[in-house]
C-alpha cells in the first residue's frame, strides 16, 4: 500500500473534459491529457484491501491494488508489467470501459471509488511513451496455423495470445479495416482510431497476419478454412440488430443505429461511405442528422453514441426514448455493493444536449406524401406488477405524435449472423442464437472455437478481451496438449 492515509487526503478526481461548445464541433477525444502527478494521487487513494473486490469485479481479473501501488511509487515499468499480464489492450479499456472494478471498489462503500480506469489509461499511455510496449516474438514457433474470423477486441485478444503461444495466426476481417466495433461502432470521440493502429503495428511486428475485405463464408468457404488451418477461432460479434416492426418502419429516415454510426466513423477515417460494416451497400445513401429532429430509440450505450454523433452533425433537436422506467439516481437497493449498480447513467454525449424520456413506447412511424419520416407516434407506459412480474401498460389518452425526421433504432443486438459461415460450418446455437461452446470449443467441431459477442451475446469490450484470452488458452491446450498461457487471475502478483 503506497500511502496509508491516501484515501483520507485526496479526493477522487478524473481528467478534465473539453468544453462542450468546443468538442461538439469535432470527433476528437473528450478527455484532456492527464498529468502523472494527478495519477499518483489517485493511485494513493487505494487501500490495498485484504480482499480486493475491484479485482473480482474486473472480468479480466486485473491485479489492481498492485498496479496502483507501482503507480504510487512511480514505477511505471512495473505497473505496466502487472497490467499487461492480464489485459492485452488497456488502451481500449482505459478509455471506454464502464469500469465494473470501480463499482466494486471497497472505498466505494462510503466514498467515491478509486479512479481505476483513469489509472489504467495513464499506465498504458506512460508505457507507450517510455517505449515499454515492444513486440514480443514467441520463443519457439509451433508450426500450427490458426484462423481468427473477426477482428474486434475478442479476435485481437485471441490472436495476440495465440501468437504468444507460438502459433501462426491469420485474422480475417470483412470490413476494410481491422478493429470490429472499436473501429466502426464506437465513435472517435470515445476512442480515436490511432489508438487501434498503434496496437496493430505491435501485433503485426509480433507476426500476426491481418487480412481485410475478406468475408469468410463468402470469399473463403467454411470447408477451405477447415482444410487450411489447424484451428478456427470464431469472433464475428453479435451483428443482428433488434428491429422495431411497427407501421411506417420502411419510411425514409428510419435507420439502425449502426448504419448511422459506422458511416460517421468512415467519414472521420476518410474512407468511402458506401457500404456498412458488413459490406452491405447503404440503401438510402448517406445518413445525416443535420437540421433534423432526431429521436434515438433505446437508452443504452449505442443510443448514447447516436446522441453524441447527432449533436456533432448539428441536429435541430435530439431526443432519446426508452421503454423501461427511469433508473434511480443512486445505486438501486436491488443491486447493493459490490454488484454492478442499477442506476441512472449520464454519458458525455448526454451532457452535450439531449432530451431523455423513459417509459415510452413507439407505436408507429408517420410519413409525409413522399415517404419521408415526419413524426413518431408514442405512448406513455406504466409498469405494473402482475402476479409478481412487471408488465407494461399503456397510459390511456397519452398517445401523441412528436416531430422527427430521423429515427435511429438502438435497441440492441439479437445474435450473430447465422446464415453463411456459421450455418455452413454447422455449429450448434444456444437458446439465444449464439454459438454454443463448451470451454469455448464448438459443441460440434473440435477444431472450431468461439469467443466474444458471437459466443456470449452482446456485451462489453472488457468481456470480449477476457473471452479472447480464455478461448486462446483453451485452443492452445487443444493444439498442444498443454498451455503456458496465463490463466485468469494470475497468482504471481496476487495479494491473497
Ligand X SMILES: Cc1cc2nc3c(=O)[nH]c(=O)nc-3n(C[C@H](O)[C@H](O)[C@H](O)COP(=O)(O)OP(=O)(O)OC[C@H]3O[C@@H](n4cnc5c(N)ncnc54)[C@H](O)[C@@H]3O)c2cc1C
Binding site for ligand SF4 (CB under 6 A): 46-49, 52-54, 64-65, 68, 105-107, 114, 116
Which range in 139-147, 193-201, 299-307, 389-397 contacts ligand X by CB under 6 A?
299-307
**Bond from prior residue into 194 cis (ω within 30 degrees of 0):** no
Strand (E) or helix (H) holding 126: helix 116-129
| Residue whose cell numbers read 499487461 | 84
Among 91, 117, 276, 305, binds ligand X (CB under 6 A): 305
Is 30 among the residues that bind ligand X (CB under 6 A)? Answer: no
Burial pattern 310-340, b for ≥16 Cβ within 10 A else e, equals bbbbebebbbbbbbeeebeeebeeeeebbee
Is 217 among the residues that bind ligand X (CB under 6 A)? Answer: yes
Residue 9 or 22: which CB sits closer to ligand SF4?
9
Could you tell me the smallest distance in angstroms from the CB atom of residue 468 to ligand SF4?
Answer: 24
Strand (E) or helix (H) holding 380: strand 373-386
Strands 441-442 and 293-297 come out as unpaired
Residue 277 or 377: which CB sits closer to ligand X?
277
Could you tell me the smallest distance in angstroms from the CB atom of residue 51 to ligand SF4?
Answer: 8
DSSP percent split of the chain into helix, strand, coil, nearest 5 = 35, 20, 50
Residue 248 or 298: which CB sits closer to ligand X?
298
Cell of 474: 483453451
Among 159, 181, 373, 472, binds ligand X (CB under 6 A): 181
Could you tell me the smallest distance in angstroms from the CB atom of residue 310 to ligand SF4?
Answer: 36
Burial pattern 113-122, b for ≥16 Cβ within 10 A else e, equals bbbbbbbbbb
Residue 70 or 472: which CB sits closer to ligand X?
472
Cell of 156: 485481437
Is 175 among the residues that bind ligand X (CB under 6 A)? Answer: yes
Which range in 48-56, 66-74, 169-177, 400-408 contacts ligand X by CB under 6 A?
169-177
Among 89, 172, 189, 260, binds ligand X (CB under 6 A): 172
* CA nearest to 371, candidates 401, 405, 402: 405
* CA nearest to 390, candidates 382, 401, 400: 382
Strands 168-172 and 209-211 come out as parallel
- Provide Rg for the chain, Cα atoms: 23
Could you tell me the smallest distance in angstroms from the CB atom of residue 317 to ligand SF4?
Answer: 41
Residues 255-294: x/- map of binding to ligand X (CB under 6 A)? Answer: ------x---------------x-----------------
Strand (E) or helix (H) holding 234: strand 231-234
Could you tell me the smallest distance in angstroms from the CB atom of residue 489 to ligand SF4?
Answer: 14
Strand (E) or helix (H) holding 365: strand 360-367
Residue 2 or 298: which CB sits closer to ligand X?
298
The whole-angstrom separation of Cα 209 and Cα 83 is: 25
Could you tell me the smallest distance in angstroms from the CB atom of residue 111 to ligand SF4?
Answer: 10
Could you tell me the smallest distance in angstroms from the CB atom of residue 149 to ligand X?
Answer: 5
The whole-angstrom separation of Cα 45 and Cα 107 is: 9
Is 421 among the residues that bind ligand X (CB under 6 A)? Answer: yes
Could you tell me the smallest distance in angstroms from the CB atom of residue 234 to ligand X?
Answer: 8
The whole-angstrom separation of Cα 496 and Cα 488 is: 15
Within positions 442 to 471, which residues make up the interface with ligand X, using CB under 6 A? 452-454, 459-462, 464
Could you tell me the smallest distance in angstroms from the CB atom of residue 101 to ligand SF4?
Answer: 7
Strands 406-409 and 293-297 come out as parallel
Which range in 7-15, 118-126, 298-306, 380-388 contacts ligand X by CB under 6 A?
298-306
Strands 293-297 and 317-321 come out as parallel
Could you tell me the smallest distance in angstroms from the CB atom of residue 118 to ligand SF4?
Answer: 12
Q: Which one of ligand X, ligand SF4, none interacts with residue 461, CB within 5 to 8 A by kind?
A: ligand X
Is 193 among the residues that bind ligand X (CB under 6 A)? Answer: no
Strand (E) or helix (H) holding 385: strand 373-386
Binding site for ligand X (CB under 6 A): 96-97, 149-155, 172-175, 180-181, 185-186, 190, 215-217, 235-237, 261, 277, 301-302, 305, 421, 452-454, 459-462, 464
Amino acid at each position: 500500500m503506497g500511502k496509508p492515509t491516501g484515501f483520507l487526503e485526496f479526493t477522487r478526481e478524473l481528467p478534465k473534459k473539453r468544453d462542450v461548445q468546443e468538442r461538439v464541433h469535432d470527433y476528437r477525444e473528450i478527455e484532456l491529457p492527464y498529468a502523472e502527478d494527478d495519477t499518483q494521487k489517485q493511485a494513493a487513494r487505494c487501500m490495498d484491501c485484504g480482499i480486493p473486490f475491484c479485482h473480482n469485479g474486473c472480468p479480466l481479473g486485473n491485479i489492481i491494488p498492485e498496479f496502483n501501488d507501482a503507480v504510487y511509487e512511480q514505477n511505471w515499468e512495473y505497473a505496466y508489467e502487472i497490467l499487461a499480464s492480464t489485459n492485452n489492450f488497456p488502451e481500449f479499456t482505459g478509455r471506454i470501459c464502464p469500469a465494473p472494478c470501480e463499482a466494486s471498489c471497497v472505498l466505494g462503500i462510503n466514498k467515491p471509488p478509486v479512479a481505476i480506469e483513469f489509472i489504467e489509461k495513464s499506465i498504458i499511455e506512460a508505457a507507450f511513451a517510455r517505449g515499454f510496449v515492444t513486440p514480443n516474438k514467441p520463443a519457439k514457433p509451433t508450426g500450427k496455423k490458426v484462423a481468427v474470423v473477426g477482428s474486434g477486441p475478442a479476435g485481437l485478444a485471441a490472436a495476440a495470445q495465440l501468437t504468444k503461444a507460438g502459433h501462426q495466426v491469420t485474422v480475417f476481417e470483412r470490413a476494410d479495416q481491422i478493429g470490429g466495433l472499436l473501429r466502426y461502432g464506437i465513435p472517435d470521440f470515445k476512442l480515436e482510431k490511432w489508438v487501434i493502429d498503434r496496437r496493430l503495428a505491435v501485433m503485426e511486428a509480433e507476426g500476426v497476419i491481418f487480412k481485410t475485405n475478406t468475408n469468410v463464408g463468402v470469399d473463403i468457404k467454411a470447408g477451405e478454412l477447415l482444410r487450411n488451418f489447424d484451428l478456427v477461432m470464431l469472433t464475428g460479434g453479435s451483428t443482428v440488430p433488434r428491429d422495431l416492426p411497427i407501421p411506417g418502419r420502411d419510411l425514409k429516415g428510419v435507420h439502425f443505429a449502426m448504419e448511422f454510426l459506422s458511416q460517421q466513423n468512415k467519414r472521420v477515417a476518410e474512407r468511402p461511405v458506401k457500404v456498412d460494416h458488413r459490406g452491405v451497400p447503404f440503401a438510402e445513401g448517406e445518413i445525416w442528422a443535420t437540421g433534423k429532429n432526431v429521436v434515438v430509440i433505446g437508452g443504452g450505450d449505442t443510443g448514447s453514441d447516436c446522441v453524441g454523433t447527432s449533436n456533432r452533425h448539428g441536429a435541430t433537436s435530439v431526443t432519446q426514448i426508452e421503454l423501461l422506467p427511469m433508473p434511480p439516481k443512486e445505486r438501486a437497493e436491488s443491486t447493493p455493493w459490490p454488484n454492478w449498480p442499477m442506476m441512472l447513467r449520464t454519458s458525455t454525449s448526454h451532457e452535450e444536449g439531449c432530451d431523455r424520456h423513459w417509459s415510452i413506447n413507439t407505436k408507429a412511424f408517420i410519413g409525409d406524401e413522399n415517404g419521408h419520416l415526419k413524426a413518431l407516434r408514442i405512448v406513455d407506459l406504466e409498469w405494473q406488477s402482475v402476479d409478481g412480474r412487471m408488465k407494461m401498460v399503456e397510459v390511456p389518452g397519452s398517445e401523441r405524435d412528436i416531430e422527427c425526421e430521423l429515427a435511429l433504432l438502438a435497441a440492441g443486438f439479437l445474435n450473430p449472423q447465422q446464415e453463411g459461415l456459421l450455418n455452413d460450418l454447422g455449429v450448434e446455437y444456444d437458446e439465444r442464437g449464439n454459438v454454443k461452446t463448451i470451454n469455448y470449443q464448438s459443441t460440434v467441431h473440435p477444431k472450431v472455437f468461439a469467443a466474444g459477442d458471437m459466443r456470449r451475446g452482446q456485451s462489453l469490450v472488457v468481456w470480449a478481451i477476457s473471452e479472447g484470452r480464455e478461448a486462446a488458452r483453451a485452443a492452445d491446450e487443444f493444439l498442444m496438449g498443454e498451455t503456458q498461457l496465463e490463466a485468469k487471475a494470475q497468482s504471481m502478483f496476487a495479494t491473497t
